[in-house]
Chain A
Amino acid sequence: MKKIKTLFLVLAFILVSLFTLSSCVFLSEEYKAFKEEYLRLLDEYNILNKQNTTLKSEVQIINQIDTNYQELVQNETETFALFSTLENDVIKSTLLITEKEIDYNWRMMISESGSIGSGFIIKEDDNYYYALTNNHVVSSEANASFTKIYVTDYNQKEYNGTVLYKNADYDMALVRFSKNASNPLNVITLASSDAAINDTVIAIGNPYGQLNSIGIGKVTNYQVPNYQRSAVSNVTYSNVVHSAYMMPGNSGGMLINDSLEVVGINTFGSTNSTYEKTTGLASPVSKINEFLLLAGVTL
């Protein structure tokens, strides 16, 4: 009896095992089908996902191109507006400064000589405009019997100028001239800080007496000018070195940034014969402020 029980138990186990195994085989088939379908769908999902990533990337690239294009158009519009402002408004602050030296010889004959340079209006009151220029523009080293300063505005209207203060250590001079109500001029603002290297700068002046010449360049460096110092020009501090077009006659002209604020006063400049490589040096606005403090001028 005991043997039969054992046998029965064994049989029962075997049957259960067989049943389980057959179930497993059945489930395995179902699983296989599921797996195949799952993998098919997964493939489809992956393809779609890849497409999705590609589409997103392509749309993103085109959107970026569109953004760059909008920026280009916007910059272009702003640049045209800048040109227009420079040619129509900013030039109304620029001046041609002429110093005439008159000598009388032993026969009381008069001979005239002089120099030209540029300047710009930094202040006005009810009766006068106040302009900055270079000291070497208004101060002759020669022993002239008589010197006279003329200020010519952007449209060649001439005024008598008076030098109120000058300082060779800054190579700057403050010139005053009378206002003419029928011929209003513009005052230009000084920047609050010096220009940085690579900043866009614009030099405005009168090279060889050509009125209202404008050149655009960049600040390339700061350096102490290496030149023959004299009693009228003895600059020993670092100047703004820039690539904006400069020629004789630009001395004393303004150097402004692209916000149209003065960042310097042009003092020296040179260019090659084809005008392609210009180097200009300008006293930075921080030095202009020091000079104005010494001159007792409050803006």
Chain B
Amino acid sequence: MRKVKVLLIVGLLFFVTSCTVQIPTDNYDEHLSELSASILDLQAQNTALSAELEAANVRMAEIMSDIENHYDKDTLYNWFNKCNIYAVRSNVKIALTTSNSPFNLGDPVYSSGVIIASSGSTYYAIGSYFATKAVEKGMFTSYKIYDAFETSYSASLVSYDQNLGLALFRFTVNSGNELNVMKVRSSDLEEYDPVCTIFSLSNSTYNHMIYSTITDKASDTGYVDYDLYITKIDVISSIYGAMNVDVDGKLAGIVLLTKNSSYEAYFAPASIINQFLNNVFN
């Protein structure tokens, strides 16, 4: 009986030891190779992802440098409203009639302009120097300005600058029409900035608006010594003196040249307008 007890105790000891030690029965190599394979797979994935991220970061840099050139719908709608509600009422059509004789004036030549100052019922509008060329030739001239409501007023030429390509006109409003005075930007726009070009055409009686972006600058126009800014606009007629309005609703330029073949308008930037106004008013 005692021997049986001893045997049982030894057997129990053996059993307990075996259970406690828990000898692993799996294959170690298999485990390790599985894990190594997963690691290799992850390394490959990460290498591919790193390359993807690198490309994405390049794209991100492109986006970040370009995103400021783009505007969301609400901003553009707001800009559209500013052009339609305020800027349009600054638009004027300038009719220049010239002749060699003061008694026999010919047909008027039309260009556009923009109201930039007022004093009581007297308004000042900037236009293209194109509208004053006849003055230099010593011809008899007569100016008439039509406002955004097609009401006409007699106008006079205050000043012009051939080098800057701009001219300033004065007219007195007696119609009661509520006209708007445009504020000029303090700095020039840059490539891709949006501009709304507002102008009048000789053969139509409403204010035309074209929404576009600046595509480039032109240095050798043969017209003025400074760089003109270029916008692509779908218009076939001349739009000299047309205003360009930025997204804040401020005057960003005045069109001095058009190339109908390439649908391009060339405008004098805000800095030139400010220089011209400083020269005139100071």
Q: Which of A's residues lie within 8 Å of B, judged by CB? A: 6, 9-10, 13-14, 16-17, 20-21, 23-24, 27-28, 30-31, 34, 37-38, 41-42, 44-45, 48-49, 51-52, 55-56, 58-59, 62-63, 65-66, 69, 72-73, 75-76, 79-80, 83-84, 87, 91, 154-156, 200, 208-217, 245, 275
Q: A9-B7, A13-B10, A210-B148 are in contact. Are A156 and B36 (CB under 8 A)?
A: no
Contact of B70 (CB < 8 Å), options: A42, A73, A209 = A73
Instruction: Tell me if A48 and B43 are in contact (CB < 8 A).
Output: yes
Cα separation A48 to B38 with both chains bound (whole Å) = 10
CB distance from A191 to the nearest CB of B (A): 19
A42 to B137, CA, bound (A): 91
CA distance A16 to B148 in the complex (A): 113
- With a CB–CB cut-off of 8 A, which chain A residues contact B183? none
Docked complex Cα distance between A3 and B272 (Å): 124
Q: Report B101 CB to chain A, min CB distance, Å.
A: 32
Query: What are 7 A-B contacts with C-beta separation under 8 Å?
Result: A17-B10, A17-B13, A28-B23, A38-B31, A45-B39, A72-B70, A155-B206
Residue from A63, A75, A80 within 8 A of B211 (CB atoms): A80
Asked if B81 and A245 sit within 8 Å, CB to CB, the answer is: yes
Assess whether A42 is in contact with B35, with CB atoms less than 8 Å apart: yes
Q: In the bound complex, what is the Cα–Cα distance between A215 and B32 (angstroms)?
A: 71
B46, B70, B177: the one contacting A48 at CB < 8 Å is B46
Q: Are A24 and B21 in contact (CB under 8 A)?
A: yes
Interchain CB contact (< 8 A) of A76 among B10, B23, B70? B70
Which B-chain residue is minimally distant from A70 (CB atoms)?
B63
B80 with A214: CB separation less than 8 A = yes
Which chain B residues (113-146) contact chain A, with CB distance < 8 Å?
none
Decide: A65 and B60 in contact? CB cutoff 8 A. Answer: yes
Which residues does chain B contribute within 8 Å of A45, judged by CB atoms? Answer: 35, 38-39, 42
Contacts of B77 in A (CB 8 A): 79, 200, 216
List of A residues within 8 angstroms of B205 by Cβ: 155-156, 211
- Report the bound CA distance from A28 to B10 in whole Å: 22
User: How would you classify the secondary structure of chain A's contact residues: helix, strand, loop or mixed?
Assistant: helix
- Assess whether A208 is in contact with B177, with CB atoms less than 8 Å apart: yes
Is B50 in the interface zone, CB < 8 Å from A? yes
* Interface flag for B103 (CB, 8 Å): no
Contact-residue size bin, chain B (C-beta under 8 Å from the other chain): 35 or more
Q: Does B222 contact A (CB under 8 A)?
A: no
> With A17-B14, A156-B150, A245-B85 as given contacts, are A216 and B35 in contact (CB-CB < 8 Å)?
no
> What's the least CB distance linking A117 to chain B, in Å?
16
Of all chain B residues, which has the CB nearest A152? B205
Which of chain A's residues have a CB closer than 8 A to the CB of B80? Answer: 83, 214, 216
Q: Smallest CB-CB separation from A55: which chain B residue?
A: B49
B63 and A213 form a contact (CB under 8 A): no
Answer whether residue B153 sits at the interface, using C-beta atoms and an 8 A cutoff.
no
Residues in chain A near residue B107, CB distance under 8 A: none
Closest residue to B176 on the A side, CB-wise? Answer: A208
In the bound complex, do residue B28 and residue A84 qualify as a contact, i.e. CB atoms below 8 Å apart? no
Task: Tell whether, in the assembled complex, residue A72 and residue B17 are in contact, meaning their CB atoms are under 8 Å apart.
Answer: no
Question: Please, which residue of chain B has its CB at the minimum distance from the CB of A24?
Answer: B21
Q: Which chain A residue has the least Cβ–Cβ distance from B34?
A: A41
Which residue of A23, A63, A87 contacts B210 across the interface (Cβ within 8 Å)?
A87
Chain A residues with CB under 8 A of B63:
65-66, 69
Contact with A along B20-48 (1 / 0, CB 8 A): 01011000100110011011001101100
Q: Which of B10, B23, B42 contacts A14 (CB 8 A)?
A: B10
Tell which of B10, B31, B56, B72 touches A63, judged by Cβ atoms closer than 8 Å.
Answer: B56
A216 close to B88 (CB less than 8 A)? no
Closest 4 CB pairs of A and B: A55-B49, A156-B205, A62-B56, A24-B21
**Shortest Cβ distance from A273 into chain B, in angstroms?**
10
